[in-house]
Amino acid sequence: MADRPGPSRYSVFVLCAALAAAVGYGIGRLQLTLGAEDTATSAQAGAGPDLPTDGPGPFYVEVGQLMVPVLVEGRTNAFILTQITLQTGSVDQANLLRRHLPHARNALLQALFGMAGAGAFDGPAVDPAAVAKSLKQAAAEQLGPDLVRGVLIDRLMRQENTRL
């Protein structure tokens, strides 16, 4: 029986990064689900907080963490890690956005991949306002122009891949 070489360090790193992203996404989805159940339970009991449930807003929906690789000559040079929150104008819009959150995440990821491919994350500095503008445009194209009023970037970080 021939000895098979073990997985490379790079493969292990990529697997760990993907696993961390999946766990973060799963925890975010669980928190959204539990938060919706808590809100429904407190609304039924009539013991909800004294916050407005409709009106001029704004209201926010957390998208969660997104991670995009930065490729240079076919190799992963770095990872862009983001934490994004979307702003809507009413509770109904926030609930609609929550129902379509996978579509929103898809649009935002596609925009981030496009920006990474165009070199927007190359160099030492990234313009968060330009990133937010691009993500808002992507969300508007996917979900309609009136649903997402703003994109808030809670975290935008470039993590260098030191295992080249």
- 119 occurs within a structural domain: yes
- Written as one letter, the residue type at 75 is R
Q: CB–CB of 97/85 below 8 Å? A: no
The answer as to whether 93 is a domain residue is yes
User: Considering only 13-17, 72-76, 117-121, which range has the smallest mean pLDDT?
Assistant: 13-17
Which of 19-33, 89-103, 127-141, 143-157 has the least mean pLDDT?
19-33
Q: Is residue 78 part of a domain?
A: yes
26 located within any domain: no
Taking residues 17-25, report their average pLDDT: 64
Domain count, the chain: 1
Q: Please report whether residue 75 resides in a domain.
A: yes
- pLDDT digits over 33-77, tens only? 555 555 444 444 444 444 445 556 789 999 999 999 988 888 888
Q: Which helix (H) or strand (E) holds 134?
A: helix 128-143
pLDDT one-digit tens code per residue, 76-111: 888 999 999 999 999 999 999 999 999 999 999 999
Residue closest to 61 by CA, chosen among 110, 17, 103: 103
Domain that holds residue 122: 59-160
